[in-house]
Chains A and B, each alone.
Chain A
């Protein structure tokens, strides 16, 4: 990343590394505050992966752009703060039509392996992803180490099998049966397919606590994604908190990039030890083995049974209050990376009418959902990591290509991977104390600035939404939905097209 390009932020020009995301470019240039919330609070990026809409800025006159999803271009003009009243729009092309045998939505491990498996059987495959690079979360493109990514080997296979890869393409609607509408940078594309494989992955679960809306509070995977896209954290003091194996992966990664890291895991030590012991014989992948190792190597300090009760700072976070249930203490930090596990991205499955069981897409032995011809793989069917996604992708890809014989051989491998899901869920279940963290003024819905207090009197999520605007903003409950589900037990299953904010130009 030796090359530098020029980025103009709020009228000032800055040098940023070529290849970095706009979010990283802005953070390096003017700091962590990107916008004013509807209630006037300063806000900055949270999720790092296009889910939270907190990183919105105006780019070359176009308002409400998610800067974490876009790469900097030389000469790009960015405005933070209030969205401007100008309504520039790229004149955009007419809707294009594309046809394929198998459409795969999401290019993480599940989607990539599904696409390769179907294409190697001679099917015409289109693979789409909202991100600028394929790889999904775990194989996310790393601007500081662009080589040595496991996805490279897969890319070769995708190319060899003639898979059409379309990056920066988000599915937003279903204009007709067996047809999906993609919002692509170059214009809207309607894709007709015979079989559809959903590999939309997961996002982080965020739980509200006082101060969680301060700039400098990120998701755990969120901060990792932002660092991979070019945000420099060398010598910064970072607290990684929340729950799940992801915290260790993130902690290790941030250390490697030069940060001083403390990890706080809400799960009690005894539960973790039981989990680690079980890995010894289950051992679905090296990643999980690393869990055990990292704990003992001591790259960073790791504290089980602790959680953040408050983030503090005037304009951005400078300290967190931590509790272990007995006492609380303060830790100074430059950033907090906090995630409470993963939740599947069910919006598209819901739009298509796929049945959902206990929070995951219901699939049969061939990964087929309740909608014939539509398959789901990876985190959509249970949070289980890369091995599960790869094997499910293969099963779905082969089944969609009519090779049930090949798919059947993988049943055992999948069952092994899936056993792991239950162990994860059990180990990293959320402790009840986390429900008590928000006070009445703590924001729950960040898009609309709806606080915890006004939500408490409502009887269900729909009533709360209509009467407080909770979940009505651009993220449509992607962030506050899992939080209110944990806090109040409300489910939000109402999905309408477009499933992501989309300009009118692209909807026609």
Chain B
């Protein structure tokens, strides 16, 4: 047996698992075409706490605290910046949601501040005037995901993990992996950190690709100061199956503005769709009219790995020795570290830091029988 664990996929999730497993003393190999080339190359890198469900809150909150602990060690090119998040409420209904979110977060120890319309305007002068108010979450951060993945893998390599790049895993036979270069890797356990591609090696995994568009601008330092997200997010079709857009703007450490976001099911075509792009930009201009004058230099798309209940799949499958670490939809940059922690506990028996049950793949009957 060459390795204790083989991790398939070197996105942020696989990279985080590699580091944590290697630190725990296991012999690890991580296999992918390239580091951080999938959704990790496309995501916004907002490290944020979300409260769509209690389980989502627990995982995002725990993961965020791990990022904060790690931040002093991160090299400058990971671009970790604590920008804070501003949730913008357009009307009274959304203001009610602000109050709700505020009390939910307060009760769980997350510092938040309720802002009125004037305070929102002072906080982000380029927003249009006249918002009802907003919620500021000062402790949240932004990173550059591809280099975060590279750093996590370098940490694993320093604990004598191995990395095999330029290859893919074609199929698994028990716990032997057959690679595209004709070689095979035998190991004690396999972690599928294959993102949206999980289905190919673990048929039946309940994941649907959910496409997102992003646009980045030239450098305009100071145009926005924190990650700004509309609360209309909650009301819009973002929660449903239909195509939707929502205003989401992220100031990068470079001074660039990264604009999201769109959500679409039922497509795997990575091309930019002019109609979606226009919808997304128009939505942003409703919130921030002065974006009009900023130059967009690049657009791209990415695919989130969505599950039926919007929670990731983390833990053992029905197939002995096979573990999943995927299904993170729009939160995988945030939740990569918490995921890695859960995976270590599953593999080594180390006590769980948070309850693992809500994320177990076996909660879906179909995935339980994958073969």
Contacts and interface: CB of A to CB of B under 8 A. Distances in A.
Q: Do A and B bind each other?
A: yes
A467 B218 contact: no
B296 A63 contact: no
From B126, B150, B277, B295, name the one whose CB has the most chain A CB atoms within 10 angstroms.
B295
A467 B272 contact: no
A392 to B, nearest CB: 29
A347 interface: no
A501 B223 contact: no
Contact of B295 (A64, A88, A467, A508): A64
Interface of B: 34-37, 41, 126, 146-147, 150, 165-166, 218-223, 254, 272, 274, 277-278, 281-282, 284-285, 290-300
Nearest to B40: A466
Given A83-B219, A467-B146, A504-B284, A476 B34 contact: no
Contacts of A498: 296-297, 299
Nearest to A498: B296
B220 A89 contact: no
A175 interface: yes
Contacts of A64: 218, 295
A501 B218 contact: yes
Interface of A: 38, 62-64, 83, 85, 87-90, 92, 173-176, 459-460, 462-463, 466-467, 472-474, 476, 496-498, 501-505, 507-508
Contacts of B284: 504
Contacts of B281: 504, 507-508
A188 B274 CA distance: 14
From B34, B254, B293, name the one whose CB has the most chain A CB atoms within 10 angstroms.
B293
Contacts of A504: 281, 284-285, 291-294, 296
Contacts of A174: 274
A53 to B, nearest CB: 9
B274 A175 contact: yes
B299 A503 contact: no
A85 B166 contact: no
Contacts of A175: 274, 278
A459 B278 CA distance: 35
Given A462-B34, A504-B294, 7 more contacts: A63-B218, A92-B292, A175-B274, A459-B166, A460-B34, A463-B34, A474-B297
Nearest to A53: B218
Contacts of B299: 496-498
A504 B284 CA distance: 10
Given A64-B218, A85-B221, A507-B278, A466 B41 contact: yes
A87 B41 contact: no
Contacts, number: 95
Nearest to A92: B292
A87 B36 contact: no
Contact of A466 (B36, B282, B294, B298): B36
Contact of B293 (A38, A463, A496, A505): A505
A87 B126 contact: yes
B78 to A, nearest CB: 11
A90 B292 CA distance: 9
A174 B218 CA distance: 21
B37 A503 contact: no
A38 B150 CA distance: 23
Given A87-B220, A503-B295, A496 B146 contact: no
From A88, A460, A467, name the one whose CB has the most chain B CB atoms within 10 angstroms.
A467
From A38, A173, A496, name the one whose CB has the most chain B CB atoms within 10 angstroms.
A496
11 contacts: A63-B218, A63-B220, A88-B293, A174-B274, A498-B297, A502-B296, A503-B296, A504-B284, A504-B292, A505-B292, A507-B278
A458 B281 CA distance: 35
Contacts of B41: 466
Nearest to B291: A504
Contacts of B296: 498, 501-504, 507
B293 A62 contact: yes
Nearest to A173: B274
Contacts of B126: 87
A466 B254 contact: no
B181 to A, nearest CB: 14
From B37, B282, B292, name the one whose CB has the most chain A CB atoms within 10 angstroms.
B292
A272 B272 CA distance: 47
Contact of B292 (A38, A89, A459, A476): A89
A175 B220 CA distance: 27
A38 B255 CA distance: 10
A189 to B, nearest CB: 15
Nearest to B279: A508
A467 B148 CA distance: 10
B146 A466 contact: yes
Nearest to B36: A466
